[in-house]
Every structure is written in C-alpha cells, then in structure tokens.
Structure 1
Amino acid sequence: MAKHTGFWMGLALACATALPALAQDAPTVDTVVATVNGEAITLGELIVMREKLPAQYQQIPDDALFKGLIEQAVQQLALEQSVTEGKTKRDELWLKTDARGYMAGKALQSVVTAGVTEEAIKAAYDEKYAKAPDTTEYSAAHILVDSEDKAKELKAKIDGGADFAELAKANSSDTGSAVNGGDLGWFGPGMMVKPFEDAVVALKPGEVSGPVKSDFGWHIIKLNETRVAAKPDLEAVRQELTEALQQKVIGDHIAKLTAEAKVEKPGEGLDPALLRDATLFDK
C-alpha cells in the first residue's frame, strides 16, 4: 500500500511542477521577443514587419522568416539607439507623413470593404453588361493605298469582277492584313478609326465601299459579316468591375470628407519651386 501511495504522490508532484508551464499566457502582440540595451522588441512589431514585406518574401518558411525578422529588428533598434543627436525636423516630418499615409490607407480600406461587396459587383455587372443593349461586331477586309486615284482604280476593278483578296495581297500597304487578303478579323465599336468605322457600319454584308480617307491613307473596305457581340460572364470581368468600384467608392468618400471638412490653404500662393529647397531644414 505504501508503494501505491508513493506513486500517486509522485504523479501529483509531477503535475504540480508542470502547471506553471501550462498556465503561461498565450503570446500576444506585446510578447517580448528580444531586447536591445533593455528596450523591448515585441511579437506585434514582427507581425507588422512581415506584413510590410513584398509578397515573394512572405512566402519564406515561418521558422526562417521569424529568425530573420528578429535579427532585422535587433539591428534596426541598435542603429536607432546609436543616433545620439535626437530627431531632426526632417525626421519628425518623415514620420508624420508616413503615419498620415498609413492612417489614410487604413481609412480607405474600410471604405472599400464596405462598398465593394459581392452585391455591388453583381449590380455593376448587370448595369454594364447584362442589361446593356446588344452591340454589333464586324468582320471586314480592306485594301490600303496612298492615293484616292489608286483607291478608285482598285474599286473599279472589284466592280468589274476582280477578286478582292488577290487585289489586297498585290496592292495593300497594310502588309499585316495583306497576306490574308486584307482580312482584319472581328472588331467592335471604337476599335477602328472613326472614318473607317463609319464606312463599315454603313455597309451591308458582302458590299464593298468606295474610297475612304483616314490618317493611314485611302481604304477600300469589304464587309464580310456581322454578329451580335457575346457578353462576358461575371468572372471574366470581375477584376475590371472591382477596380472600377474601388475607384468610385474611394473618390466619392474623399469628395464627401473634403466637402464636409473646413479646408483652408493659406500656402497656395507660395512659389512651387520651394518644394526643391531642402536647405529650408537648415534655417
């Protein structure tokens, strides 16, 4: 019986000695990870340092990154402590503008989070694409020459039965399309210069235009066919819509804030060249 009692007492003692380790507080942003001359570096500082790293460095394994950030923080703090003359006016303004930029970014992030929702993205998609009127795409070919007379000559040959594609190969200065018989593929509104687009829109499939002048020269245009442009699905334009929404909610929010704020600009009349005068810090 004595042996059993000793066993249980030993187990209880072992558990008791283990309790302090189990009862230790979980790490927080205030947990000290290093000190330099008694000044603490905290876990929170390391987390922020990691967040500031370019994306490629954030992929470094945690154990290597943790050690590397501690060493970087130690070196930076040691260097900071080595500056004995204190903060200059320039130093204070650097820190002030950095802090202002950070807080402005934080404010905008909350605005974007609130304004760029899935519902807002879908609404923007419906407005721009799903509910938008159908648009027409065109398949056309052209022959580009340097004079109206040459264009008229080629048009007369086409009207007389000459093959458009062969004339394009032999005469068009647009060598990129000439090798394909002048074929330009499919294009939509706004993709061609206006005189060219206007001429294409006026044609019916199979028709050939008269000479059309643009900044590139003189064109003879053949419209092959038309089709209704396919509308992209949401995922194909999600990034485009998201970026447009971000710009809008940010612009609207900044406009509202500045309109409601009392803004005075007594320095607007200063010489803009003063921006380059760093000697002002020495005066």
Structure 2
Amino acid sequence: MKKLLLLLLTFAAIFAYAASDTESADKKSVVATVNGTPITKAELDRQVGILMPRSFFHSTVTPEKLKDVEKDALKELVKKHLLLQYAKKKGYTIPDSIMKREEKKIRKAFGSDENFEAGLKRANLTLDDFRRELYNDLLMQKLYDKEVKADLDDEALRAYYEKNRYKFKVPEKIKIRLIYTRNDPTDPKGKEKAMSRAKEALEKIKSGEDFADVASKYSNAMSRIKGGDMGFIHKGMLDEPIEKAAYALKEGEMSEIIETPTGCYIVKLEEISPAVQLKFEEVKDRLRKELKAKYEKERLDAILESMKKDAKIVYK
C-alpha cells in the first residue's frame, strides 16, 4: 500500500507529460471527486506516471493506450481517497515527529535541499503538496499495519496445509514419445496419406527399428527433433483420445494408431512418475506469501466495499 514519495517524485520527473515548469490551469482542474474531495489533473498525471511502464517511453504511446492507463490511474486514486477517508474516520493520525523523520529521510536521499527542491519543481509539487502526499502515504501505511497486514505463523500455516493437503500434491506424470502424421486439410486425400504414413511408421517400429529414429523421420510434430520425446506430461496436456491411450499403457508399451481429425498418432509410454505429496517444509514459504496476499486483499476489499456503499463519487 505504501508508495514512497521518493518514487513518486522520480517518476513524475521522468515523464514529460506529468511535469512542466509551471502548473497550468489544466493541471489544477478537477477530474473527479470522492465524497467532495477533489482529484486534480496533476494528481492523475502523477499516478499515470507511476502506472505507465518505462518501456512505453521507448516507443510511441498511442492516445488509446494512454486513455486506458488514465482510466486505471483514476480508479487507483478513487480507491486511495476512499481508504484515506476510512483511516481518518477511524481516527488514525500521523504524529509530527514521524512526519519530520520521514521528510528528513527523503531529503537526505536527494543528496541536498537544492536537489530536493528541484525534484519538487519537476514534479509540480509545492512543499505543502509534498507534505500532504507524505502524510497520506504514512496514513495508508498505518491503515495497512492496523487493519490489513496479515502475519501468519508456522502454526497457522500448518493448520491450513493439513486441512488442504490435496492442494499440495504433485499429480502423476508420464514420460512419452510421440509420432504424429498430419492430415493436410487442403489435400482431398490428406486423411488417407496421414494414415498410410502412420502405418508405415508403426510397421518399422514393430519390425525392430527404434521408436526415436522412426519418429525423427516420420513425425510431423516439432518433437521429432528429439526423437518424439515429449518429456513428462500430466493429465490435461494432451487431446482426450491421445491422453486416454497414453494413460492406458504400461511402461515400455506402445499404442496402436490413434486417428483424429487432424491426423494420426502413435504413443510410447517410457516412464511413470507417481503422484507425490509435498511436505509442509517444502511449501511453507510459498504458502505464506500466497495466503498473506489472499488475506490482505480480502481485508482491503472489505474496507473498500464498506466505504463504497455510501460514497458519492463524481467523475468530471
């Protein structure tokens, strides 16, 4: 939630459209209000600067793309103002001592007061603007710490893991080789040719030739360069008739020809890797990140929904 003002200033300085030597009337114009609190064009421009990927500035940004980014930026600003109003409603405040400490850090990051003031100017921010933005950032951080932040200890994570063990199971996988003979839809005899080629390939394998060698010569699939090796796959990765045939095989077995509208297939099952239950320690760190993000989003969404119920949001 917390956006360091240093980043705000840096981004605003980078994007030319978000900054000018003097603040114009357009910059001061109001683009929306949230319960009477205005969102100005200057504020919107700074938010666009934060959202806009730097890579866009190595190519032409179309008016349509800029409009989309501005729409997203405005949505973020509306959310921000709703959260700020909620925080103030709950009585959260930032002591002057904290404000002074954080301002000092940011000034120090610029190297000198002169550089700091130059940054403000490039970002079209007065000192009062800066302090208001800083206060809001710190207030958002306080709201996050008090009502959104989710700290999950190992006991809570283990309880979730035990209740949802099925989510941490690596499914069975099979390692296959495949030969595919394509049915050319532009050829009236495409289906016959695909079957004829598949039969010839199957006969060679049954007569003793290596499956990989035959695949490299007969298959129309890209896997032919690896002797038809498809590596390990799990259910859902192949078309149903091919998958069904592959999973019906035992290790070392080869299927008969599988005919489909797009062509013919021959599958060889080389290895079965059984399903594995991942241990708690293996998933703990990933699980902590996922649950933290999930719970924090739910809490934040709940706050926003409660504020939106009676909110008066007007777009200009």
TM-score range, shorter chain: 0.5 to 0.7
Q: Return closer, same or farther for 1:131/1:255 CA change in 2, 3 Å cut-off.
A: closer
- Whether 2:156 is the aligned partner of 1:120: answer yes
Q: CA deviation at 1:256?
A: 2.8
- Contact (CA 8 Å) 1:193, 1:214: kept in 2 or not? no
Instruction: Quote the offset at 1:117 in angstroms.
Output: 2.8
The residue type paired with residue 150 of structure 2 is A
Aligned pairs for 1:132-211 within 5 A: 135-147=171-183, 148-149=194-195, 150-175=197-222, 177-190=223-236, 192-195=237-240, 196-209=242-255, 210-211=257-258
Structure 1 partner of 2:273:
227
SS at structure 2 position matched to 1:184? strand
Q: Is the 8 A contact 2:172 2:276 kept in 1?
A: no
Cα deviations by residue, 1:125-155 (Å, 9 ceiling, x for unpaired): 4455578567311111111221342334423
**How large is the RMSD of aligned CA atoms in angstroms?**
4.4
Output the CA distance in 2 between the equivalents of 1:189 and 1:201: 9
Distance in 2, Cα, partners of 1:115 & 1:86? 36
Determine which of 90, 95, 104 is the counterpart of 1:46.
104
CA pair 220-105 structure 1, distance change in 2 beyond 3 A: farther
Partner of 1:53: none
Inter-CA distance 164–71: structure 2 relative to 1 (3 Å threshold): closer
Give the TM-score normalised by the residue count of structure 2: 0.49
Contact 1:152/1:211 (8 A) holds in 2:
no
1:76 equivalent in alignment to 2:119 = no
Q: What is aligned with 1:255?
A: 301
Q: Which runs of 5+ in 2 are unaligned?
A: 1-95, 184-193
Give distance in 2, aligned partners of 1:79 and 1:132: 49
TM-score by length of 1: 0.54
Judge conservation of contact 2:251–2:269 (CA < 8 Å) in 1: yes
The sequence identity of aligned pairs, in percent, is: 25
Cα distance between partner residues in 2 of 1:249 and 1:135:
27
Question: What count of residue pairs does the alignment treat as equivalent?
Answer: 207
Cα 1:106/1:170, change in 2 over 3 Å: farther
Alpha-carbon shift at residue 252 of structure 1 (Å): 1.9
